[in-house]
Chain A
Amino acid sequence: MIKRSRLVRWKGWLFILPGLLFHIFAVTIPAMLSLYLPFTEWNGISMPKFIGIENFVEAFQDRIVGVAFLNNVKWMLFWVTIPIIFAFGLAYLLSKIKRGQTAYQSIFFSTSIITVTVAGQIWFWLYNPFSGVNFYLDKAGLGFLEWPGLTIPSFALVSVLIADMWRGFGGNVIWLLAALTQNDKSIEEAAKLDGAGRFRILWNIVLPQIRPTLVVVTLLTALGAFGAFEMVYVMTGGGPAHATETLSTYYYSLSTRGQRAGYGSAIALFQMFIAFILIAVYAYLKKKKGWDV
C-alpha cells in the first residue's frame, strides 16, 4: 500500500519531468548565466571576462540608457491610460448592444491578428512624407492636418505608439468585454430603480465589479510596455537619433551590431529589476488592498 501511494505521489512528477528538464536547460540555466553576464565584458563570441560593476557604472552614465528608460516610462504611461480607457469605452458600449456584438468584436480584434512586422510596415508607409497620408493631405489642400509622423524626432515616439495601439487595443477590448458580461446585472437594475445616473452606475457598480480584470490587464499592459521592442524595431529601429529607443531595442543593438553583449546584459538586468518592482506593486495591491483576481 505504501509503495503504491508513493508511486501515485511520484506519478505527477514523472508527467512533468520532460517539461521540467526542458525548462531547466532552456530557461533556468541560461537565466542564471544571464545574472553573471552583466558583470563581464563579452562580445558574444569569445569567453566573457569578469569586470565587476563597470557595466553598471557605464550604464548610469550612458545618455542613451536615460533616453531609452524615459521612453519606456512614456510608453507605459501611454499604454496604461489611453488604450485601456479607449478599450474599456468600446467594451462598455459593446456590452450594451444586443445585435451584431460578435461582428463588432471581430472588427476590433482584427488588427491584433496582424503580425507586428506587417502592421509596422503599413504605418511606416502611411507616415511616409512623400507617398503617405501627409502627401495626399497636402495635395488636397489640407496640409494643416498633417501629422509629422517620423520626420520630427519629438513626434516619432507618439507616432510609433499610435501604430502599436492600433494593433494591440483589440485584445484588451475582448478581455474587458468578457469581464463586463460576467457582471451582476441585478445590481445595476437596483441602482437604476434607486435613481442612480449612468455615470454613477459606471463608477460605483460596473467598475468595482471588473476591477480584478482591469488590474490584471493593466499589469500585463505595463509589463508588456516595459519590454516594448517589436513595433519600435520594425518601424524605426530606435531612431531617429534614439528618439524612439527603448531599453530592449538598445540592448539588442548593443548585443548584436555593437558586439557588447555583456554591457547589453547589464541594461537587460536593469529592465528586469523594473519588472520586479511592477510585480511587487501588484502583489501589494492584491494583498493589502484586497484587489484579488
Chain B
Amino acid sequence: MMKPALRTFGKMMTVVGLVSMLVLAGCSSNDGGAASGKIRLQVPDAAIWGEESSALQVMYDKFSADHPDVKLEQVTMADDQAMSAALAAGKAPDLMLMDPSLAKERFKSGYVEPLDKYYDQYGWGHDMFGWAKNAYVEGGKTIGVPWNYEGLILVYNGTMFKENGWAVPKNYGELLSLVPEIKEKGIMPFAWGSSDNPGVDDWWVTSIVNSILGKEGTKQLYSGDVKWNDPAIVDGIKRYDEFWNAGYVTDKKSQAISQEDSSQLFLNSKAAMRLDGTWSLAADNEPDFDIGFAPFPSWKQDGEPIIPLGVGGGLVINAKSEHKDEVAELLNYFFNPDVVKTMAEHGIPEPIQMDYAQFDLKPNVAKALNLISEAEKTGRTGYVAWSYGPPSVVQVLESDFASVYLKKTTPEAWLDNLQKLKEKDFADNRIFGLDKY
C-alpha cells in the first residue's frame, strides 16, 4: 500500500511529466517538411503592404511552379522590433524585407548575408541603377537587392487647375503667388497630415534641401562637407515655417489629422495639391477629377524643380539561413518580367533600366513614371533623406520637424542639432557614402 502523501506526490509528478511533454512538444523545432524531402523557405508575407507588395506573390508563384521541391512559407513580421527579436532568436525568415539603414546595422551584427557572389552569378547588377544598388552597400559588400525606387512629386487636382486657369508652380516665387488665389476660393492649397506618422514630415525637409542644394549639394549634405546649419538650409526651413504658419498647409492643422485624412481632403477636392510619393499610386485612387503630376516646386525663389529619388526597401538574405543558395535562386525571380511588370503597374518600379512603354500601365501610373524618367534624363533628380541621410539625423527628421513650425524651437537651433548628430554619425562611421559615386 502506498502512503497517501506519496500517492499524491506520484499523481502530481505524473501531471507535471505530462505537462512537460506537452510543453516540450510545443517547443520542439518544426522540421518544416524536411521529413518529406522538401526544402522549406520562410519568406515575407506578400500581403504585408497590400497592393504595394503584391508583386511578391507573383514572384513566389513563378518560383514555386519551377521548383516543386521547395515549399515557401509566408511569414508576417509585425514591425522592425519583431524582426529584431526573431533575428536575435535565430528564428527570422530566410528572405527578409528591410530598409537600407536597418540592413546595414544588422549586417554589421552578422545577421545579413553579403550577396556579391549572387550578384556575379545572376548578373543582377547589370541593369540596376548604381545609386539604388549602393543603398545596400556596406563595408564594400552588397547586402541586399533594392525593392523599388520612388520619387517625391507634386500631385495636384488637374481639373481644378484647368477650370481656374492656374499654372503649376515651378518655384517658391510662383507658389507664393498662386496659394493666396487658391485660399480665396475657400480651398486649401495643400492637404497634409502627420498625426499618425510624424515621419512623413521628412518629405518636406527632403524636398527643401534637394531643391535648394541640387543633386551634388544634397550628396554633400548627407555625406560630405555641407553642414545642416548652412545659411541656405536655414533660409529654406524658415521659408517652410512661414508657409505653414500662413495656413497654406491644411489650415495649420496638419498635426491633427492623419495622412489618410489628408488624402481624403485632396480626393474630395477640398485641397488643391499634395506632396506625395510615387508609392501612393499603388492605392489606385480614382477621384472624379484628373490627377496631375509634376516635380514639386523648388523652395528657391526662382529655382528649378527637382525630384528626390530613393529606395523604398530591399530584400536581404538571412545570414543564418540553411538554404542561402535556394533563397538567392528565389531572389532571382524578382527580375522575372512578370514581377517587374507587376511592380511597375503599382507605381513602384524596380530600380533597373527598363522601357516601361512596353507595358500597358494605367494612365496615372504611366504619367508619374514618365515624369521621373524625364527628370532622370535631364539630371533633375535628387536623393530622399530616409534612404541616404545620416541615421541619427533621419531619426530627428522623422520625429521632430513639427517642433519648428509649431514654434517649439527655432530653425537655427533645430538645424544646429542636426549638424551635431551628423558629426556624431560621422565619428561612429554610420554615414552612407553617397558622395563617393
Contacts and interface: CB of A to CB of B under 8 A. Distances in A.
B4 to A, nearest CB: 9
Contact of B408 (A18, A43, A153): A153
Contacts of B81: 44, 256
Contacts of B196: 237
A258 B398 CA distance: 10
Contact of A239 (B3, B270, B391, B402): B402
A45 B88 CA distance: 8
A81 interface: no
Contact of B256 (A4, A7, A127): A127
Contacts of A131: 261
A236 B408 contact: no
Contact of B19 (A4, A18, A150): A18
B253 A129 contact: yes
Interface string A119-138: 00000100111110000000
B199 to A, nearest CB: 8
Given A241-B402, A241-B406, A257-B395, A149 B256 contact: yes
B391 A259 contact: yes
A18 B17 CA distance: 11
Contacts of B402: 239-241
Interface stretch (B101-109, B150-158, B272-280, B358-366): B101-109
A70 interface: no
B105 A257 contact: no
Contacts of B258: 124
A167 interface: no
Contact of B406 (A15, A45, A128, A153): A153
A257 B398 contact: yes
B256 A128 contact: yes
A34 to B, nearest CB: 15
B400 A237 contact: no
Given A151-B256, A240-B256, A241-B255, A253 B399 contact: yes
B213 interface: no
A102 interface: no
A46 interface: yes
B403 A242 contact: yes
A11 interface: yes
B266 to A, nearest CB: 12
Contacts of B400: 241-242
Contacts of A35: none
A128 B255 CA distance: 10
Contacts of B173: none
B332 interface: no
Interface in B48-75: none
A239 B255 contact: yes
A242 B408 contact: yes
A118 interface: no
Interface string A240-258: 1111000000000100111
A8 interface: yes
A130 B270 CA distance: 10
Given A128-B261, A153-B408, A258-B395, A237 B9 contact: no
Interface residues of A, number: 35
Interface in B252-273: 252-253, 255-258, 261, 265, 270
A31 interface: no
Given A18-B16, A239-B198, A45 B111 contact: yes
B257 A240 contact: no
- With a 10 A CB-CB cut-off, give which of A8, A47, A149, A240 has the most chain B CB atoms: A240
Contacts of B19: 18
B195 interface: yes
- With a 10 A CB-CB cut-off, give which of B81, B197, B251, B399 has the most chain A CB atoms: B399
Contact of B3 (A4, A14, A18, A151): A4
Interface string B156-200: 000000000000000000000000000000000000001111110
Nearest to A240: B255
A149 B256 CA distance: 8
Contacts of B87: 45
A38 B8 CA distance: 47
B253 A257 contact: no
Interface string A1-17: 00010011001001100
A224 B415 CA distance: 36
Given A7-B5, A11-B9, A44 B84 contact: yes
Contacts of A14: 12, 16
Contacts of B399: 253, 257-258
Given A7-B5, A240-B406, A45 B256 contact: no
A100 to B, nearest CB: 39
B79 interface: yes
5 contacts: A45-B106, A151-B252, A236-B195, A240-B256, A240-B406
A-B CB proximity, top 10 nearest: A240-B255, A150-B256, A241-B402, A241-B403, A241-B406, A46-B109, A151-B256, A241-B408, A151-B253, A129-B253
